[in-house]
Amino acid sequence: MSRKLMTALMVLIGVGLAGAEWLPVAGGTGGVSISVIEQSPSRTVVEVVLPGLAVERVTEGGVEYARLAIPDEVMAVLEVGRPQVPKVSLLLGVPDGARVTARATVDETVTYAVGNVYPLQEPQVDSRPRPPFTIDAAFYTRDASFPGPAVRLIETGVWRDLAVANLQVYPVQVNPARGEVTVAKKVRVEVSHPGGSYPSSVPDWLYPTYGAFIDNFAELRLRPRVDYDDGVRYLVFCHQNHAGNSMLHDSLLGWVKQRGYDTRVIVKSGFTAAEIKDSIRQEYDRHSPAVLQHVLLVGEYAEVPMGSYSGVGKSDFYYADIEPWPVGDNYPELNIARFSPESQTDLDNQIRKALKYQRDPVTTNDWLDNMTFVAHREQYPAKYSGCVRGVYHMPKPYWQPDIDTIMGQFKNNTDVTNAVNAGVGILAYRGHGYHTEWSGWCGSNWNNANVDALTNGDMTPVTLHWACHCGEISTATCHAEAWMRKYPGGSVSALAATQASYTLPNHGQCSTLTRAMTDTWTITVPGVRDYAGPVFSIGGQMSYMDAYIAKYWPSSPYFYNIWMYLTLGDPAMPVWAGTPATATVNCPDSIPLGSYSLNVGVLTGGRPVENALVCAWRDGEFYVVERTDAAGNATLQVDAATAGEVLLTVSEGHAQHSTPGVIHTPILPYERIVMAGGGSPSPGELLMDHDTGYCRLTVSAQGSIGYDVAADAGSGFRYPKTAASALFYGSFAVGNAEGYIADRHFGQPASGPQNSDLVVVDSLRSVVPPAAGDQHYRGSYSDAGHPSPKGLLITQNSHQSAHTGYDDFVVMIFDITNEGSGPVEGLYAGVFADFDVGADPAANVAASDEARRFTWMRQNANQNPTVGVKILEPRSFANLAAVDHERYVYPDSAMTDGMKWRFLNGTIVQRNSNRPYDWSTLTSVGPFDLAVGDTHRFAVAFFGGADENQARAHADSAQSWYTGNVGVKEPASRPATEGRPLFFSPNPFRRGTFVHYHTPLGGRVLLTAYDAAGRELERTEFNAVAGGGRHFWQPEELARGVYFVRVSLPSGESVAKVLMLD
């Protein structure tokens, strides 16, 4: 196996050696070449070839020194005050139980006179001043080679399934008295490891990390364990304070299990670190080989303690190091992270962010394509800015994000705020830090208050804080916690240190974690497949970083950085490397009873999706998990005992990510019902009750609300949920003229059948786990039953929370999409609600609150209950009305579409009732236009209270909950401009999208669509007008996927990326 990580230029820039001298040795430039030339059960022989040596001239106390460096490598940590020599780090897989020894043979050498070699200095931490310069003057008079032996065995350890040996090779020998360095062109390292044995297999999920750091891993040819045996893969330690949190136990852990990680939760009112580690060990040992992969801690430091080491008092890594038991080493066996919430609401919000990020990330500004590095201004352009500059220029062959740097020498807090609010997928900081801040990074601090002022909504980045103390969770709210606790907005995960961290490893950690996401390497297993990096789960990335330190910085105290860094968030959460696409999943609609091989194929844009996690789950019968191969295929061995639904979930994949030169495509999670025992998936329900909160509401899949046939089918709206219904009947309505009102409300006469303009497209189904709240139902209906349909599709999502303070309402969201052939203009949408409160409907009163955008009703003599409908989105209304039944319902001439139209558009206005009587309410919004393919959102809450004031408070809570959970929308598209001459909206799109263009010249336009491999799939032409405009493009030859579209305008060419959903 040959290893070359970066070019010499990149490394030299990264360590501040861009102006260094280059002393040729074996010839060429760049890092060392490491080749395994012999591999057997008892011996490994490695050849190290050194192209050259970099020499930087530095001055201390008026004396010039030569600082030596080998590209890609770091200094040897030997004796302070004596010459600082570079080393080559080797990490080899060795047989478990073997006796390991090493010796080196040096080939031809070259000697250079360089003068005084810079002495090794005391370790420096980021938060403290540089230690005084130290030199062992007596040692510099010695006429002898230093460090002496060309190889040393530093340590052996156990990295989960594989024993490892860490060795350091010293191709550079220094004679301090003569001021000379003797450099070996080639070093042959022979490592003897008789006795013991290699494992027959290792976990497939560790392949990329093993392959990145173990120099002989490919030569070992260890079989990857691709069969996901039964067992707990995701272990949770939860403090009793959070035992009843449904967002944790149902939503997050339900999603984790649905993806393919079987879960187990341990709840206690108090833990010790030893108890936690013992429990992890027991679960780890439950299977041989072990299957446990992730550990999640849920609780603040006082609730779920951290482990400790000599030199590091607080460490979550302590729980990830299981082998060798009980002494441990610095190689993590598990991925670990934690949620550190200050309240139940905070835990809910952190989990909401994690689920939104994983399941349905917004696409605003292509924010997931962006990676931003913030650098402290100290010693600019070296130190922190030099580290960031090196990462910026580092090759990124797998994923090339849109990288930006914010240098503290020139920028300030406003620049950070603007970047985050505009959308950043990954945000990294390198510099000084303290408990609540990035200290003095630009001359002032970026602190918790700055985080709290962010308005980035659902664009929540993965944050990486390579600085001191930012992860000190034993303080009230440390800086990493502030990012997590900010809601809406803030971050979805945070990596940070619990104490003062060491400068030089921090530099390497910064570049290493970037490599984990953007680089690629391939390990070929003959007869099986090629396995490739990168590493994407946040827990896996921290383990990747720990492995880097363990290999390259194994000497005290630098490896303390392993122990002190922690990750906040869901350890199994994948990090998006770019904007994800929708996957096409091919599998049968039904499977037979009994043993069966379920074949699943996963594609995006016609390309196979490799390494996707596929889970087939029928509760109580089977739970099977596999990953797709390079062809995008997985076979799951299932065994259905009874007929019914099987939940199939696909996640985590990347299209053709092991194919050089092909842009990768991450995929959105995919969920599907497959029927066991034949037949078709369950049609779902026409009516479903929201009843997990304090109130109850029936919703339907055809526009009716409360009941379908009045007072017959359904539960109405009950406040509280054990009371009689306060709603006789309700309906959604949409229209733009007297001749076009689509609804399921009262017809003419109102005593006859309801209108049937709205027709079921997809019946109601429970979304598990909910995207928001504790109950989430989804269905859709169209206007196909109207005599003159416009092609409108209404996708209805309804949510209810069970949490105190947010359980007095049900949210209903109506996404109105134009799937017709032409634009529909001047639309209004609304909800009619015929509330009958109390025993006598004729004794009701109604009122409106314009500031809060709601209508309500109650009994004249009793405020309990007070019920109503509030507009949540948009933040405006067309009408808030009390509907007098004596005029608009009871006469045989009512209720006409003309009346409904005038209520919807605000022609008929009566805000409040004028007497106790039988009333309805109407809340409406508009006008709005829908171009073909466009969608407009209308959202309301049905709410209740024990009196008017409480009802108002509950309506306000509904707005707050909606805004924080499901109410963030992308900004409306603006016209194309000279600075932005081409864009597509909507994007992503379904059947078609508008091409927005700007051109000073009119003329013919050619539009050509290509897939990611560069194949032309479709072309069309249209006329552009001078100045600019838009053209509706409806592809005919494209399937769902990502495409690159070249638009040749009269004034020039532009290219854009689009995502077609179906």
Cβ atoms 695, 810 nearer than 8 A: yes
pLDDT (0 to 100) of residue 660: 47
Nearest to 735, CA basis, from 607, 604, 922: 922
For 132-183, write each residue's pLDDT tens digit. Answer: 999 999 999 999 999 999 999 999 999 999 999 999 999 999 999 999 999 9
Q: Name the pLDDT band for 945 (thresholds 50, 70, 90).
A: very high
Q: Phi and psi (nearest 5°) for 173?
A: -115, 135
b/e 8-22 (16+ beta carbons within 10 angstroms → b): bebbbbbbbbbebee
Cβ atoms 608, 656 nearer than 8 A: yes
Greater confidence, 523 or 494? 494
Q: Look at 324-328, 753-757, 830-834, 901-905 and tell me which has the smallest mean pLDDT.
A: 753-757
pLDDT (0 to 100) of residue 1015: 84
- DSSP SS3 for 478: coil
Nearest to 747, CA basis, from 920, 896, 893: 896
Region 776-796: mean pLDDT is 91
Please give the Cα distance from 1052 to 853 (Å, whole number): 48
Please give the Cα distance from 781 to 760 (Å, whole number): 4
Q: Residue 676 half-sphere exposure, CB side, CA atoms within 13 Å?
A: 23
Region 192-214: mean pLDDT is 93
pLDDT (0 to 100) of residue 969: 41
Please give the Cα distance from 917 to 907 (Å, whole number): 22
Which percentage of the chain shows pLDDT scores above 90?
66
pLDDT (0 to 100) of residue 522: 66
Q: Name the pLDDT band for 995 (thresholds 50, 70, 90).
A: confident
What domains, with CATH codes, occur in the chain? 8-201+208-220 (2.60.40.3800), 234-568 (3.40.50.1460), 584-676 (2.60.40.1940), 687-965 (2.70.98), 982-1060 (2.60.40.2550)
Q: Look at 88-92, 379-383, 848-852, 1017-1021 and tell me which has the smallest mean pLDDT.
A: 1017-1021
Q: Is the dihedral of CA 642, 647, 648, 649 positive or negative?
A: negative
Res 792 pLDDT > 60: yes
Region 12-38: mean pLDDT is 78
pLDDT (0 to 100) of residue 631: 84
Q: Name the pLDDT band for 197 (thresholds 50, 70, 90).
A: very high
Question: How many other C-beta atoms lie within 10 A of the C-beta of residue 147?
Answer: 18
Please tell me the chain's helix, strand, coil percentages from 3-state DSSP, rounded to the nearest 5. 15, 40, 45
Q: Phi and psi (nearest 5°) for 350?
A: -65, -40
Res 228 pLDDT > 90: no
Region 851-877: mean pLDDT is 95
Region 240-247: mean pLDDT is 90
CA distance readout (Å), 770 to 35, 252, 255, 801? 51, 9, 9, 10
For residue 74, which amino acid is it?
V
pLDDT (0 to 100) of residue 176: 97
Question: How many other C-beta atoms lie within 10 A of the C-beta of residue 645?
Answer: 15
pLDDT (0 to 100) of residue 991: 64
Greater confidence, 882 or 250? 882
Res 2 pLDDT > 50: no
Please give the structure tokens belonging to residue 584: 């096409």
For 967-977, write each residue's pLDDT tens digit. Answer: 644 333 456 77
Q: Name the pLDDT band for 15 (thresholds 50, 70, 90).
A: very low
Region 715-732: mean pLDDT is 93
Matching residue, tokens 């290999």: 551
pLDDT (0 to 100) of residue 279: 97
Res 657 pLDDT > 60: no
Res 103 pLDDT > 70: yes
Mean pLDDT in the chain? 89
Region 486-509: mean pLDDT is 96
The dihedral over CA atoms of 472, 474, 475, 481, expressed in degrees to the nearest 10, equals 60
Q: Name the pLDDT band for 645 (thresholds 50, 70, 90).
A: confident
Res 280 pLDDT > 60: yes
Pairing of strands 370-375, 402-407: parallel
pLDDT (0 to 100) of residue 662: 47
Nearest to 205, CA basis, from 161, 249, 168, 175: 161
Greater confidence, 684 or 886? 886
Question: How many other C-beta atoms lie within 10 A of the C-beta of residue 722?
Answer: 8
Helices then strands, counting H and E runs in the chain, come out as 18, 66
Region 96-116: mean pLDDT is 96
Region 475-487: mean pLDDT is 97
Q: Name the pLDDT band for 396 (thresholds 50, 70, 90).
A: confident
Res 532 pLDDT > 90: no
Greater confidence, 252 or 686? 252
Region 700-712: mean pLDDT is 78
Region 913-928: mean pLDDT is 96
Nearest to 479, CA basis, from 427, 415, 517: 427
Region 1017-1038: mean pLDDT is 79
